[in-house]
């Protein structure tokens, strides 16, 4: 049932996409994509939970930092766990925020360009907004200082910031006397993509180094000199867009440490002859000081390979996702073998799709240790280099492991340097784990911009929880489960969190595993969001198991944070099944409470008018079925021209007298069936309703309100029960009668202090609490209300 449903879903979305395609090319493209989806197997496009910004806010799950003027132009961010601060670089300013609560009082440093610099910038023909100091780089420099660099109104500059974490006296101070040139560390242009990483006191940067943005370079900046890519060598870098960088040790010898750079670049003369974009991983030795006579201050170890992220189609035609949007390096206990996640998009102008691919270091190293790519001339095809490879192997570091013969790259033989210069490209591309994306997003609804990953230990294994930022303020929380037998990947969309009030592109996601928080950046501010809130899935065992959230398990009472065995010596009774979400098995015999939590509702329909019976399951992924109670039997309702099943509930287009009865809404998820709501529908004759407004005494007698029928502005935190009732009432009399309802409310409830007092006298759960809503019996049916 679930399978067919999701397949059908695929088909619909494929068709919707089809309509959007420019249609000359559509046929081939959509056919190719079509089959891709079939391969992906079960998938559900709905998140299990969707939370608006307001809901996140009301749940205390988020805090937002907003800069003074309401606009936060942030250009760099650093999570500093030792100082417990989040450092943000903006326009002429740096902020230091509290990691516990980003909205708490913060420190800031104003660092603007001098008046002369701004003047000179304007004289060069630049616009006023560009002529400011945009902070493009913040890195930990040593235990007492951060290094920061900015565009300095097209005159890049760097400075050190003194930080310290004595509790009573927090220091965050720019060392003004040591401002130095920022060439090679910060670009000139505010929006120029820049990446950086620090390894053993050395800074590695990828950036455009010049005013005109012609010179793209990967730099090493140490205390004694620098190393960089060759100026103007398009074999090394060709119009790159820098995405990320990381230092990863190869083994226990620090001399073998490598730094990896991720970027996209143009590849001229591919098969089709047109310029294409490829994603790349490049690597260098962290201790590469260049050559002595040739390649002076140039990498002697620079190699690069193509990063593949594609889905196989029929007839060997693959759909490639070639545009790397973001990269995340998931560090593990074994420092040498982190997992690398790439967020990619298609470069096609016709169809925009996104994919996440995962790579392991074993595969990446194998590619760099594999054959070199070679071609005779620029217009020839690439082939495997089959000649003699010099020793030490180009791309290896000056270290003991490599024989200890060379103490520095400066001692490398010329032929090694010549080879590495002429053969920077590996022949094999880097393939993703499982040789396929772990996540696909092809419905074209939104752009995916950012990616962060957390590794979570659950009862049935480890899971990578992906947090994906979109261009409309949303963070998607997803797990992906690989099924080895079927060779399919299942995506489980756990939560969809709208972290900002207005739709803006998310430009940064930083995760603090230690604090279980995300720090999400956009132009409107920085939001801090807790990565889990288990209680929201519901307190029943089934609700918790069906959620399949590896952070959460049912603890015997409620859905709460799951801690693997060992953290607490006395392990509590836990129920969780991330892989299958099998609530039937996990929660067998624990459903006693559920019978009581079925929501009971009474709804009035007006004859000949439409009526909606609402049914909103906790999970957006549940499949709903409606039944009508016929004696002891339940008869399934099949939609027809009279009754329609909508996402909000069951809609009677023209209510008939014979529709009156008891309706049951059941949800099914992973084979687990539960009743969400039982609705008693009463159908009123049109004339009776009309008379409601004309005969005063009729009101009190006939329509017995169980709770106030209109919102009380004077009562705190408008209870949802009240609102619901108001809605029922509106439905009953029709929206065209709005004015009369207002008057009615005024007369009967709002103006009467006597009545309000009486109401306050009721036990609280009778009044507004959600509990009263859910445990429906607490709501007095209209014939038995007390007087």
Residues making contact with ligand NAG (CB under 6 A): 59-60, 141-145, 160, 606, 609, 686, 689-690, 733-734, 736
Closer by beta carbon to ligand NAG, 62 or else 227:
62
Q: Does the CA dihedral 106-185-241-373 come out positive or negative?
A: negative
The distance of closest approach from Cβ of residue 708 to ligand NAG in the complex, given in angstroms and rounded to an integer, is 21
Angle at 416 between CA 412 and CA 421, to 5 degrees: 120
Return d(Cα 708, Cα 759) in angstroms, integer.
8
Closer by beta carbon to ligand NAG, 227 or else 655:
655
453 DSSP assignment:
E
Return d(Cα 442, Cα 345) in angstroms, integer.
10
> Cβ(80)–Cβ(144) under 8 Å?
no
The distance of closest approach from Cβ of residue 597 to ligand NAG in the complex, given in angstroms and rounded to an integer, is 20
Give burial (CB, 10 Å; 0-12/13-18/19+) of 292: middle
Return d(Cα 225, Cα 290) in angstroms, integer.
10
Closer by beta carbon to ligand NAG, 331 or else 740:
740
Strand partners, 149: 137, 158
Return d(Cα 734, Cα 741) in angstroms, integer.
10
Question: Which is nearest to 218 in space by CA: 176, 261, 248?
Answer: 261
Closer by beta carbon to ligand NAG, 54 or else 445:
54
Closer by beta carbon to ligand NAG, 279 or else 609:
609
Closer by beta carbon to ligand NAG, 622 or else 643:
643
Structure tokens at 262: 């991720």
Closer by beta carbon to ligand NAG, 160 or else 262:
160
Closer by beta carbon to ligand NAG, 83 or else 480:
83
Closer by beta carbon to ligand NAG, 340 or else 689:
689
The distance of closest approach from Cβ of residue 543 to ligand NAG in the complex, given in angstroms and rounded to an integer, is 18
Q: Return the residue nearest ligand NAG (CB atom).
A: 734
The distance of closest approach from Cβ of residue 729 to ligand NAG in the complex, given in angstroms and rounded to an integer, is 11
> Cβ(276)–Cβ(270) under 8 Å?
yes
Question: In whole angstroms, how large is the CA radius of gyration of the chain?
Answer: 32
The distance of closest approach from Cβ of residue 731 to ligand NAG in the complex, given in angstroms and rounded to an integer, is 9
Tell me the Ramachandran region of residue 659: left when phi exceeds 0, alpha when psi lies from -120 to 50, beta otherwise. alpha
Closer by beta carbon to ligand NAG, 361 or else 689:
689
Closer by beta carbon to ligand NAG, 201 or else 713:
201
> Cβ(350)–Cβ(21) under 8 Å?
yes
> Cβ(699)–Cβ(688) under 8 Å?
no
The distance of closest approach from Cβ of residue 606 to ligand NAG in the complex, given in angstroms and rounded to an integer, is 5
Q: What is the spatial order of strands in the sheet that 448-458 belongs to?
A: 49-51, 488-498, 474-483, 461-470, 448-458
DSSP labels, 244-270: EEEEE-SSS-GGG-EEEEEEEEEE-S-
Return d(Cα 607, Cα 605) in angstroms, integer.
6
Angle at 78 between CA 74 and CA 79, to 5 degrees: 130
The distance of closest approach from Cβ of residue 168 to ligand NAG in the complex, given in angstroms and rounded to an integer, is 21
Angle between the 738-745 and 720-733 helix axes, to the nearest 10 degrees?
A: 130
Phi/psi for 427 (5° steps) reads -75, -45
The distance of closest approach from Cβ of residue 58 to ligand NAG in the complex, given in angstroms and rounded to an integer, is 6
Cis before 389? omega within 30: no
The distance of closest approach from Cβ of residue 611 to ligand NAG in the complex, given in angstroms and rounded to an integer, is 10
Distances (CA, A) of 502 to 53, 78, 469, 508, 606: 9, 25, 14, 16, 39
The distance of closest approach from Cβ of residue 536 to ligand NAG in the complex, given in angstroms and rounded to an integer, is 10
The distance of closest approach from Cβ of residue 59 to ligand NAG in the complex, given in angstroms and rounded to an integer, is 5
Closer by beta carbon to ligand NAG, 276 or else 715:
715
The distance of closest approach from Cβ of residue 579 to ligand NAG in the complex, given in angstroms and rounded to an integer, is 31
Closer by beta carbon to ligand NAG, 145 or else 775:
145
Question: Which is nearest to 461 in space by CA: 441, 445, 484?
Answer: 484
Give burial (CB, 10 Å; 0-12/13-18/19+) of 665: buried
The distance of closest approach from Cβ of residue 392 to ligand NAG in the complex, given in angstroms and rounded to an integer, is 34
């Amino acid at each position: 049932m679930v399978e067919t449903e999701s397949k059908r879903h695929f088909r619909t979305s494929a068709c919707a996409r089809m309509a959007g395609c420019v249609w000359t090319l559509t046929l081939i493209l959509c056919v190719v994509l079509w089959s891709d989806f079939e391969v992906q197997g079960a998938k559900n496009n709905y998140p299990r939970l969707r939370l608006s910004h307001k809901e996140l806010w009301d749940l205390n799950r988020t805090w937002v930092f907003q800069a003074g003027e309401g606009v936060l132009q942030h250009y760099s961010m650093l999570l500093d766990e030792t100082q417990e601060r989040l450092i943000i670089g903006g326009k002429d300013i740096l902020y230091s925020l509290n990691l516990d609560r980003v909205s708490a009082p913060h420190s800031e440093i104003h660092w603007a360009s001098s008046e002369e610099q701004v003047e000179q910038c304007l004289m060069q023909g630049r616009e006023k907004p560009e002529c400011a100091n945009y902070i493009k780089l913040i890195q930990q420099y040593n235990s007492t200082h951060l290094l920061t660099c900015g565009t300095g109104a097209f005159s890049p500059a760097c400075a050190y910031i003194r930080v310290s974490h004595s509790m009573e006296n927090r220091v965050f101070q720019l060392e003004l006397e040591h401002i130095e040139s920022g060439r090679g560390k910060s670009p000139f242009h505010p929006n120029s993509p820049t990446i950086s990483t620090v390894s053993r006191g050395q800074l590695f940067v990828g950036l455009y180094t010049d005013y005109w943005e012609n010179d793209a370079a990967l730099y090493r900046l140490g205390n004694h000199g620098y190393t960089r890519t060759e100026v103007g060598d398009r074999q090394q870098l060709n119009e790159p867009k820098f995405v990320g960088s990381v230092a990863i040790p190869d083994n226990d010898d620090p001399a073998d440490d490598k730094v990896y750079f991720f970027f996209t670049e143009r590849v001229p003369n591919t098969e089709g002859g047109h310029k294409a974009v490829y994603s790349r991983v490049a690597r260098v030795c962290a201790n590469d000081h260049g050559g002595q006579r040739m390649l002076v201050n140039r990498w002697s170890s620079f190699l690069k390979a193509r990063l593949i992220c594609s889905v196989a189609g029929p007839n060997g035609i693959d759909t490639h996702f070639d545009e790397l949007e973001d990269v995340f390096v998931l560090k593990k206990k074994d420092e040498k073998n982190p997992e690398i996640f790439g967020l990619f998009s298609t470069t096609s102008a016709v169809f925009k799709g996104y994919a996440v691919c995962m790579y392991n270091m074993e595969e990446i190293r194998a590619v760099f240790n594999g054959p070199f790519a070679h071609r005779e001339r620029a217009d020839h095809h690439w082939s495997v280099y089959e000649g003699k490879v010099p020793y030490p192997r180009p791309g290896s570091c000056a270290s003991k492991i490599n024989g200890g013969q060379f103490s520095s790259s400066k001692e490398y033989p010329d032929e090694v340097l010549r080879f590495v210069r002429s053969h920077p490209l590996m022949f094999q591309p880097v393939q993703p784990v499982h040789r396929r994306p772990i996540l696909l997003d092809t419905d074209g609804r939104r752009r995916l911009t950012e990616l962060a990953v957390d590794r979570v230990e659950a009862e049935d294994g480890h899971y990578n929880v992906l947090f994906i930022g979109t261009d409309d303020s949303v963070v998607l929380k997803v797990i992906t489960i690989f099924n080895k037998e079927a060779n399919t990947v299942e995506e489980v969309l756990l939560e969809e969190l709208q972290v900002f009030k207005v739709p803006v592109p998310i430009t940064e996601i930083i995760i603090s595993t230690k604090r279980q928080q995300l720090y999400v950046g956009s132009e409107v501010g920085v939001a801090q969001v807790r990565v889990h809130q288990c209680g929201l899935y519901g307190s029943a065992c089934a609700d918790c198991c069906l959620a399949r959230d590896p952070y959460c398990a049912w603890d015997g009472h409620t859905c709460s944070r799951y801690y693997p065995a060992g953290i607490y010596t006395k392990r509590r009774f836990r129920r969780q099944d991330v892989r299958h979400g099998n609530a039937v098995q996990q929660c067998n015999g624990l459903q006693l409470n559920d019978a009581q939590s079925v929501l009971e509702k009474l709804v009035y329909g007006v004859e000949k008018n439409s009526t909606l019976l609402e049914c909103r399951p906790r999970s957006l992924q549940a499949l709903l079925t409606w039944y009508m109670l016929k004696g002891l039997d339940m008869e399934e309702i099949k939609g027809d021209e009279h009754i329609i099943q909508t996402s909000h509930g069951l809609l009677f287009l023209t209510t008939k007298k014979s529709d009156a009865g008891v309706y049951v809404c059941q949800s099914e998820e992973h084979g687990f069936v539960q009743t969400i709501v039982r609705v008693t529908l009463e159908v009123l004759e049109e004339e009776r309703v009309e008379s409601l407004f004309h005969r005063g005494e009729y009101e009190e007698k006939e329509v017995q309100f169980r709770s106030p029928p209109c919102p009380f502005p004077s009562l705190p935190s408008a209870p949802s029960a009240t609102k619901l009732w108001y809605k029922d009432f509106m439905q009953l009399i029709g929206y065209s009668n709005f004015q009369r309802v207002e008057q009615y409310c005024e007369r009967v409830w709002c103006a009467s202090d006597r009545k309000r007092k009486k109401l306050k006298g009721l036990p609280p759960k009778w009044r507004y609490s959600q509990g009263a809503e859910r445990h429906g019996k607490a709501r007095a049916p209209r014939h038995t209300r007390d007087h």
